[in-house]
Structure formats: C-alpha cells, structure tokens
Structure 1
Amino acid sequence: MKNKFSIWQLTPPQILVIGFGLIILIGSCLLSLPLASAAGESIGFLDAFFTSVSATCVTGLVVVDTGSAFTVFGQVVIAVLIQIGGLGFMTMATIFAFAIRKKITLRERLLLQEAFNQGSMEGIVRLIRKVILYSLTIEAIGALFFTVRWSFDLGFPKALYFGIWHAVSMFNNAGFDLFGTVDAPFVSFTGYVNDVVVNVVAVALITLGGIGFIVISDLIDYRDKRKLSLHTKVVLSMSAVLLVVGTLVIFIFEFTNTHTLGSMNFGGKVLSAFFQSAATRTAGPNTVDIGSLRQATQFVMIVLMFIGASPGSTAGGIKTTTFAILLSAVVTMIRGKEDIVIFRYRLAQDRILKAITLSMLALFLVIAVTMILTATEDAQFLKILFEVTSAFGTVGLSTGITPDLSIVGKVMICLTMFAGRLGMITLAYALQPKRDKELFRYPEGKITIG
C-alpha cells in the first residue's frame, strides 16, 4: 500500500515554489477586497493577482497605479508582500521561530540553504540572523532620510509613512511607489529627478539590497578578517562595472534627447543617468519617462536588466556572478587556456555548467514569452521585449504598456515574474521528477564547434 502524500516528501525547491504561490494567493485575495481599493469596489481578481505577484516577486510592474488605486490598507498589504518576497518566506518563518524560541530543524535548514542559494548548511541560521538585522537597520536608516526630506513637502505624518514604505520598496528592489495620483498616475520618482537627497538615498538602498546579504556580511566582518571572499570580490567588481557602463551609455545616448535628459543641466544629466543605471539592476523606479528613451538606450537597459543584481539578494536576473563566469569563459577560450580563473581562483566545472544552464534557460524563457506577447499584444517588439525582460529580472521598469496588456499578456508576465524571482534552476528542480542516480556513463564523443 502506497504511503499518503506528505509535505515532507517534497523537495526544498518544491516547497519554495508552493510557499511563494500561497503567499501570492493570499495577497491576491486581500488586494481584491473593496477595502483595499480607493474606489470602494474591487479592482478585480486578475489585477489584484498581478499586483500580488509583482509585489511578492519584488518586481514593480503595475496594471493600476499604487498611489491612487489603493487605500492605506491595500498599500500596507503590498508593502508586507514586498518585505516577505524580498527576504523570502522562509526568512519570515525563521523570524517567527526565533520569536517563539522554536529550534530550527534540519529540514528547515535545508530550505533556508535552498532559498539563499548556499553551498552548505554551515552557518545558515547565523546568516539569517544577520539578514534580519541588516535589513531592518538599512531600511530604518533609509526611512529616516526619506522622512526628513519629504517632511518639507508632505508634512511629517505623511512623510513618515512615505519614508518607511519607500525604504522597504527600494531596499527590496521592488520599484513600487506612492507618488501617483488620479490625475497623474504612474509618475514614479519623476518629480524628484534633480533632488540629490532622494536620488542618493534611493540608489544606496537599491545597491545594498542588490549586492546581497552575504556581501554585506562580508564587508562588515572585513575589519576583523582583513579578507574578502571570492564571491564578494566578483559581486562588487561586476556591480561597479555595470553601474558605470550603464551610467555612461544612458548619459551619452540621451544627452540630446529633449524628452529625457536633453533639457537638464550637466549635473542633472549625470544624476539622472546614474539613477536610471542603478534602477536597471532590478530596482524599478524611474526619474525620466522610460517610454521616451531612445531605442538604443532601451536595448542597453534590456541587457542590464537581464543580467540583474547578485545572488543571495532581493533582486532577480541571471545575476552578476553568472555574467562574470560567462565573460571569463569567453576570455579563457580566446586565450587558449583550460581553467577559468577569477582573482587567482580556479572555478569548478559544476559552477561553469550551472552558469551556462541558468543563462540558457533564462534566455529561452524571455524569447518564448516575447514571441507569445508579440502575437497577443498590440505593441512594438522592443517595448514587449523590454517588458518581458523587466519581468524576468524583477525590475519593474516599463515603457508604459503594462496597464494595457490583454488577459493572456498579464498571465504570461505574472509567470515570468514568478520564474525570475524563484530562479530558473530552482524552478526546474521543483518541476522535474525525482532524480535517480546514474548507474553508467556513455563513451565520450566529439562535436566540431565554430
């Protein structure tokens, strides 16, 4: 007689997929309530579902304006979903376990290891404690700066609410904002395009959320260890290169575009280009109209969104470390070397294969969804590709076509956001049947390449 199904028969990737799915479903039900709608009537389950997926997957793509379409109740629900989605539901469950002094079991440690993409369970609970501490501290500091700045414009009570809400959104790289109104929806941070304080604080939160908790912990411990891990070195170097390259490209391509940077002074152009480059790293807010950017700029942003931020963070994309491995593999092949070496460390074969697999799965997903949406949506190809890549990278930047998507389009974007947040390999492991150990190996063959 077969044993009855039990949740303990599920693998860690399967539990993560189900867990995120349940959170999204609960969020959808709450956001579809009339209590959550500023109009006093439900926004409809599909739009509520889309918003819940976008918040839980810390993306920021929206079909209704967050600031004007939702009540305070709805906005708080979205903020909670962003926090749970950014830190991960297993982290939130661990916080609850800490609160009631419950011991973290081996099964739960395995789930945490999978959620944070760690190679082993060693020190995983200690890492979670640091994640909680660092997140709350950084968000509190960001909220303080935002509150002080916006108190001059909004008054202290509203500035405090906006400060906390946007600090959570920016640190978790969600891209949601509350600045839209009934008369001017979807404005994001465009009203603060030349505001140094808002721009710098937002970029700082985005960057800290995007480099990952492992890197933050490594940097804080540097004073004692006097040494950075290979992971931290790769993340910091690639993040800096991509941020600078993105800033330069946006600055050069949009320098004379009167619809974006053209009408600003030199300092404003640099600040705007810098902010938008940081935002493409899976963050989502914008200080200029994305739909008015030149196509060359939009295409470069697509590439940056596809790469995304770093592992173990609140962000999406194929990740900076994956991109670094791919670049190193190309350089190694061109130079005729055998080993891929980064910062004087040789990379293991399984890391290289995982990077290639992740990149190819991500590329196939973006291509497939883009092809489907070109058949179902009445929009330009580049705008559709931009939207799909933004969804996969959990970025949230939009050329403006999201609210006008068809039912099929909204569902496909939801699936893309879900896959982008969980990770393609985690999703693949969750969907595949139980793996059996191979009992034999096939003979080696050779294929001509190039």
Structure 2
Amino acid sequence: MKVDFNVLKWSPPRILVSGFALIILLGALLLSMPFASASGERLPFMDALFTATSATCVTGLVVVDTGTYFSVAGQVILMCLFQLGGLGFMTMATLIALVLRKKISLRERLLLQEAMNQSSMEGIVKLIRRVIIYSLSIELIGAALFASRFALDMPLGKAIYFGVFHAVSLFNNAGFDIFGDYRSLTLYVNDAVVNLAAMLLIITGGLGFVVMSDLMEYRKNKRLSLHSKVVLATTGTLIAVGTIVIFIFEFSNAKTLGSLDWGGKILASFFQSVTPRTAGANTLDYTQLRQATMFFTIILMFIGTSPGSTGGGIKTTTFATLVGAVIAMIRGREDIVLFRYRLGKDRIFKALTITLISLLLVIVVTMILSMTEKHAFIKLLFEATSAFGTVGLSVGVTPDLSIVGKIVISLTMFAGRLGPLTLAYALGPRTEKELYRHPEGKITIG
C-alpha cells in the first residue's frame, strides 16, 4: 500500500478540518451502535452523523431527544464529543503529550496557534496548560453547583451525573441536555442557582481562553490586553442590551415572560440574552417567542462568542471592529481606534471578509431550507443562524428536517465551528505573494 506523504505537509487549517471530520465520523459510528440507544435499536446513520456533528461542533441541535433516546453510554459518548469539540482535539492531544512528558514540536505549535486563533506561537504551550486547568476547574465548580441543586429533585448519584453532563455541555457551549422531551432548563426558569450557574459556565466558556488567562493574571500584571478589553466591553454591552430588549419584547407575552413574576422576568430575560451567544440552553419555550424577539435573537446568534472560545459566530471582536469602522466613517476619521489603540488595515479587511462570507452562508442555507422544509421563513432563518453560530437554539424545525435539510445543517454547523476563513484556507489552493501592485483606481461608494 502506498503512503501519501503529502498529508504530512498539509497546512494547519487543512489538518484541523480533517481532524474534526475524523472525530465526527468516529462519533457517528459509535452513536449508531445498539449500545448507544436506550432501546437497543440502531440510530439511522444520517441521524447519528447529524448528532455527532452537532456534538463535536458544540451546537446542540438534535433530531432525537438526548435524554430519552440515548443510553448512558450514548450520552457519555456525546459528552466526550463536545468536550473534544469545545477545547479542540489539538488541545486534548497536547494534554496527553504533556502527561507523557513528550516534547511539543514546531509543527504541533503551529497547529495549536491555528486552533487557538493566535497571532503568534509565543507562549502557546503555556496557554494550553492554562486552558486545560481553567476549563476543568470551571466545569468542576459548575458540576458541583448543579449537583447540589438537582439533588433536591432526584437521587444523589443521578444528580451528580446530571450536574457533570450539563456543566460540560454548557461550558463548551454545546447546549445538549438530558432532562427529556426537548425541555432544556425550562423546568428551572425561576431557579436562581441553576440560572446563575448556567450563565457563569456559558459566559466563561464564551469569553475565550486568552481572556480567561488575562483575567487570572490580572492580579499580578495589573493590566489587560487590548483584545481582552474589547471582548469584555463588547460581551457586557451585548448581554445588557439583549436583556433589556428581550424584557421589553416579551414582557406581555403570556406564553413566555408574561406568566412570571418580576424576579422571574428579569432572570429569564438575562438568561435568554446570554444563551444566544452560542450556548443553546433555554429556560423559555422558543417556539412561543414573538417574531421581533426571534429576529433579535438571530442577530445575537450571528455575532456569537469571542475568538479562541468554545463557541461560534462571527465573534465579538469582529462585531466591535465593524462598529468602530462605522463610527470612524461617520466622524470622518481614517483610523479605527479602540481603547486608544489604532487597528491595522489587515484586521479591518479580515473582519469584513468574515462577516460577508458568514452572511452569504446563512443566506444560502436559508434559501435552500426554504425549498426543502415546510416552515415559516423566520423559523428557517433562525435555525440556519443557530447552526452557523453553533448555538443550538431551535424553534422546532430541526426534528422535522428532511434528509437534504439534515445534510445542509450539518455542513453549516461544521463551517460555523471551524470558521469560514479556516475552511477557505483548508480547501482553497495555496496562495502566493503578489510580485506587483495594480495602479490605484477610484469608484463612487454610497
């Protein structure tokens, strides 16, 4: 048998894409086995592939109910998949190498740089160590908080298992739940412990590992990087604005906030503002939301979390750069300035490219779904954006998807998790540096 040594020369983006695809395929094979289902029957391979894609891409869209269809073994497989998908298989491979005290090669550092969305390799292994420690610590705290609350409603052993599963799911922004009947956290809409613990996991998982590292080191360094400042400011603003908008839109809706007391209304609005940042859990029935709230949630899902996090979307820094560009243009300034730092033109071009490609992807997917699925347009747009942003929130479309719909949504989740640019770099031809520049021309804009 001839070995293709060209694989060894693949670019980091191509290796990442291939690695995620391999994990998804392996996960699909395991989930389609009889032992993975509670009834002992085989899950159709297309449904297994969809579920494995959703878990590995930490989305949470499901075609079968996780809590009732899968056995404990199947649920553990899912938990492993979204832990791998959230932290990244290169992070897990580095953990094994560090445990075995193996040296991390230059090529492996390049892969880690690409996987963590970093601009340089400097301190990348140290960052990975912190990522692993922080992630496991936060998941452990979340699991303990959940287990202590769930123990009031179920046996202790089951409460611990539920606590671990949902802590790992929410920190990795996977959105899977095992309460059954697609209920997610709706049973705990008024519960402060469950809501606050869930939001803590979602927000910390969505900030990005670089920001988490910066925050942990703040006591010693007494400073934050520009990246961390932009991420924290944008995240806080989006959560605050989202809470207010959802509260106003749903205040009188008897099927959502209308039936809750004032404390419940505020808590539920806060949670529904946090979860579209690619988490996928919900405490309200999203099929009962008003169209205005659905559309606003679509915007939040499209923006997503922050670079180097467990979530998707165009990312908070991309959104902040675009807003900065608009403000600079309105004020007649050439430079985009954030926290007294000027952004380079390459950052601006990258933000525009990511946004336009992402918008085009969501539009195309929605158009395809509108031809293959029998649902309202706003619901199809919601589902397409949820898949791209690896959010996992659903308005009841996913369980009814046709074969074509399942394939399209699976590919969208895959593209959303890896990022449009990473996929473009992986699948496109190797670019060569131009040896000349064309003369400058002028066109009328606006």
* TM-score between the two structures when normalised by the length of structure 2: 0.99
Q: Counterpart in 2 of 1:53?
A: 53
2:157 aligned with 1:174, yes or no?
no
Runs of 4+ in structure 1 off by over 2 angstroms are 3-6
1: CA distance, partners of 2:397 / 2:313: 21
Once the two structures are superposed, residues 64-121 of structure 1 have per-residue CA deviations (whole angstroms, 9 ceiling, x without a partner) of 0000000000000000000000000000110111121111000000000000110000
Q: 2:397 aligns with which of 401, 408, 428?
A: 401
Task: Kindly report the root-mean-square deviation, in angstroms, between the aligned alpha carbons of the 2 structures.
Answer: 1.0
Q: Counterpart in 2 of 1:357?
A: 353
Once the two structures are superposed, residues 429-449 of structure 1 have per-residue CA deviations (whole angstroms, 9 ceiling, x without a partner) of 001111122111111111110
2: CA distance, partners of 1:7 / 1:92: 21
Q: Counterpart in 2 of 1:107?
A: 107
Matched to 1:186, the amino acid is Y
2:26 aligned with 1:26, yes or no?
yes
How far off is 1:4 after superposition? Answer: 4.8
1: CA distance, partners of 2:4 / 2:284: 56
Percent identity, aligned pairs only, is 65
Q: Counterpart in 2 of 1:191?
A: 187
Matched to 2:186, the amino acid is T
Aligned with 1:365: secondary structure?
Answer: helix
Q: 2:365 aligns with which of 364, 369, 376?
A: 369
Matched to 1:269, the amino acid is K
Q: Counterpart in 2 of 1:441?
A: 437
How far off is 1:6 after superposition? Answer: 2.5
Q: 1:222 aligns with which of 215, 218, 223?
A: 218
2: CA distance, partners of 1:138 / 1:349: 37
2: CA distance, partners of 1:111 / 1:271: 41
* TM-score between the two structures when normalised by the length of structure 1: 0.98
Once the two structures are superposed, residues 24-48 of structure 1 have per-residue CA deviations (whole angstroms, 9 ceiling, x without a partner) of 0000000000100112101110111
Q: Counterpart in 2 of 1:93?
A: 93
Matched to 2:307, the amino acid is P
Once the two structures are superposed, residues 156-214 of structure 1 have per-residue CA deviations (whole angstroms, 9 ceiling, x without a partner) of 1000001111100010011000001xxxx101111001001000000000000000111
Q: Counterpart in 1 of 2:386?
A: 390
Aligned with 2:42: secondary structure?
Answer: coil
2:234 aligned with 1:243, yes or no?
no
Does 25-34 or 432-441 show the bigger shift?
A: 432-441
Matched to 1:40, the amino acid is G
Map residues 421-440 of structure 1 onto 2, 5 A cutoff. 421-440=417-436
2: CA distance, partners of 1:9 / 1:447: 42
2: CA distance, partners of 1:386 / 1:367: 11
Aligned with 2:187: secondary structure?
Answer: helix
Aligned with 2:152: secondary structure?
Answer: helix
Matched to 1:59, the amino acid is T
Q: Counterpart in 1 of 2:252?
A: 256
2: CA distance, partners of 1:395 / 1:244: 19
2:204 aligned with 1:208, yes or no?
yes
Once the two structures are superposed, residues 290-344 of structure 1 have per-residue CA deviations (whole angstroms, 9 ceiling, x without a partner) of 0100000000000000000100100100000000000000000000001110000
Q: Counterpart in 1 of 2:318?
A: 322
1: CA distance, partners of 2:9 / 2:435: 24
Once the two structures are superposed, residues 218-267 of structure 1 have per-residue CA deviations (whole angstroms, 9 ceiling, x without a partner) of 01111111111100100000000100111111110000001111011111
Gaps (5+ residues) in structure 1? Answer: none
